[in-house]
Structure 1
Amino acid sequence: MTLKMQGALTSAQTGQKLGITGEAARQQLVKLSEDGLVDEERRSAGRGRPATYWHLTEKGQARFPDSHAALTVDLLRSVRDVLGQEALDTVIGAREASTQAQYEVAMAGCRSLRERVIKLAELRSAEGYMAAAEEDQEGGMLLIENHCPICAAATFCQGFCRAEKAIFENILGAGTRVERMEHIVKGGRRCTYRIRETG
């Protein structure tokens, strides 16, 4: 969970996050490595020996929920092949409208952009996105999603990603700009959105 949320870490950094010694963390990471769940990489930081960073392998990533990926993709493919692309777009649009309506109800009491982004992160986490809201150094907010429970579906059909970005823009209010900085479907470790008020 720590590597999923934080990305690649050294044993010492992992231990610090878990409240244990770096050596205790290293022993656990070695066991996970033997099971094929994590792997190590050497990173040079100037002089001295390269540091060892640990990251999740594909097998480790698979330990997190995938919302029945194979079935979902099979159903989407069937809709497209039998009913056509327009029907698939209609299904995605209906999901988008339903999700947006739920989010709008949940955010009814939020006044500031910061409150809305924090609430959105809570809603997304409840859906399995392992989301967090952070303040951006440039004065805006970041919405960070460390997991994509619909990754297989989103890889098959990019319409899901376009729809989600559109939902964020709609519910966060007029004059809000949402910019995707990292994208899991395109090889990123996570999906990150920079959110700023433009007016």
Structure 2
Amino acid sequence: MSSDRLENALRPAGDRFLVLLKSRGPQSAGELGRATGVTGEAARQQLVRLAADGLVVATAESRGVGRPTQVWSLTDAGNARFPDAHAELTAGLIRSIRTELGEAVLDRLIDARAAESKEAYATALEGAGLGERVARLAEARTREGYMAEFWAEGNGFVLAENHCPICVAATACQGFCRAELSTFRDVLGPEASVERVEHIVQGARRCLYRISPEDKESKGRKGGRRGKPG
């Protein structure tokens, strides 16, 4: 059994459901039951208890012919169960830096932080092909609290971050998101095109990046586009 599966197996049932709803989005009791190895009714009973605690909520969703399916999702309180690294302190420091020192100083601090991340990622990803670099980047981001995963899609890959442990800071200052995208583009290399297609701070459930091999022809058409905020 992998360490991830072992850790999941040792979680209380309610916590396992919260993790699944966070990382996979809204699901029915039956889907959650199959994922955790319990019956749909047992899953429903656990979800009712979580709902009583204000952590999940059910909505009716039409899934083709027949009666609507009850689909469960996290509430704001449920999302708050996942760590947001010293959120209020960070947000306060951002406000103070912006007010006392100005936006340019804040940007320089964010760039310095990004440079440290790039150096660490570059070391971890060195010598690997694109697919392996994406896999190692997902592992590194998961260790940092982003609940990252990846999969192959077409001739490229998708990198998903199901949680943002610095969401309050990123909402207060979009420079963090700009630096993150620039970092991914740099460490995955010039042969990869990286685009953010879903964004938590814009209301999405997760941040999603499409990573495609960059051929010379398309690179020439884009010119100096790489590294710009997206």
Regarding TM over 0.5, the answer is: yes
What SS class does the counterpart of residue 20 from structure 1 fall into? coil
Q: Which residue of 2 aligns with 1:175?
A: 191
Give the drift of 1:106. Answer: 1.1
Q: Which residue of 1 aligns with 2:5?
A: none
What SS class does the counterpart of residue 194 from structure 2 fall into? strand
Q: Which residue of 2 aligns with 1:12?
A: 30
1:179-190 counterparts in 2 under 5 A? 179-190=195-206
Residue number among 142, 157, 168 corresponding to 1:141 in the alignment? 157
Counterpart residue identity of residue 158, structure 2: L
Summarize deviations over 1:83-130 as a string: whole Å, max 9, x none: 0000000000101111100101111242x1100000000000000000
Q: Which residue of 1 aligns with 2:53?
A: 35
**2:162–2:206 CA contact under 8 A, matched in 1:** yes
Q: Which residue of 1 aligns with 2:140?
A: 123
Q: Where do 4+ consecutive residues of structure 1 move more than 6 Å?
A: none
Counterpart residue identity of residue 85, structure 2: S
Work out the CA distance in 1 between the residues paired with 2:64 and 2:35: 25
Q: Which residue of 2 aligns with 1:60?
A: 78
Q: Which residue of 2 aligns with 1:159?
A: 175
After TM superposition, the structure 1 stretch with the greater mean CA deviation from structure 2, 25-34 or 40-49, is 40-49
Work out the CA distance in 1 between the residues paired with 2:81 and 2:127: 36
Counterpart residue identity of residue 131, structure 2: R
What SS class does the counterpart of residue 70 from structure 1 fall into? helix
Give the drift of 1:45. Answer: 2.3
Summarize deviations over 1:104-162 as a string: whole Å, max 9, x none: 1111242x1100000000000000000001111x2200111000000000000001001
CA RMSD of aligned residues (A): 0.7
Work out the CA distance in 1 between the residues paired with 2:39 and 2:27: 14
**2:157–2:212 CA contact under 8 A, matched in 1:** yes
Unpaired segments ≥5 residues, structure 1: none
Unpaired segments ≥5 residues, structure 2: 1-18, 216-230
Counterpart residue identity of residue 53, structure 2: D
Q: Percent identity?
A: 52
* TM-score, structure 2 as length reference: 0.84
Give the drift of 1:47. Answer: 2.6
Q: Give aligned pairs, total.
A: 197
Summarize deviations over 1:28-61 as a string: whole Å, max 9, x none: 0000000000000111123321001000000000
